[in-house]
Amino acid sequence: MKNIHCKMFGHDFHVSRHVTLHVKEYTCKTCKKELTTNGNGLLTVLTPKYKEINDVLERIYQKKHKKKVETKTLDNLLVFSH
C-alpha cells in the first residue's frame, strides 16, 4: 500500500541527515526510499557507494569545522581586556 501512495501522489521526502551544508540525505516518509545529492547537486538514489562517500565527507567536514571552532575559542581565551 505504501508504494501505491507514492505512485499516485509522489514521494514525501524529508531530510534525514545533514552531511555538509550542501549535501543532505533524504528519506520518503511513506515508502522509506532514500536519496542524496550528488556532485552536481542533483538527487540520486542512495547506494552503498554514495553512503560511504557521505560518511567520509561528513568526517572531513566535522574535523575541519571542529578545528575552526577550537581556534576561535583559543583566540577568545588569549584576549585580555581591562
| Ramachandran angles phi, psi of 37, nearest 5° | -90, 140
Residues 56 and 11: their CA atoms lie apart, in Å, by: 28
Q: State the pLDDT at residue 73.
A: 57
C-alpha to C-alpha distance for 26 and 36, rounded to whole angstroms? 6
Residue spans per domain, the chain: 2-78
- Reduce the DSSP state of residue 14 to 3 states and report it: strand
pTM (whole model) above 0.85: no
Tens digits of residue pLDDT in 12-65: 999 999 999 999 999 999 999 999 999 898 999 999 999 999 999 999 999 988
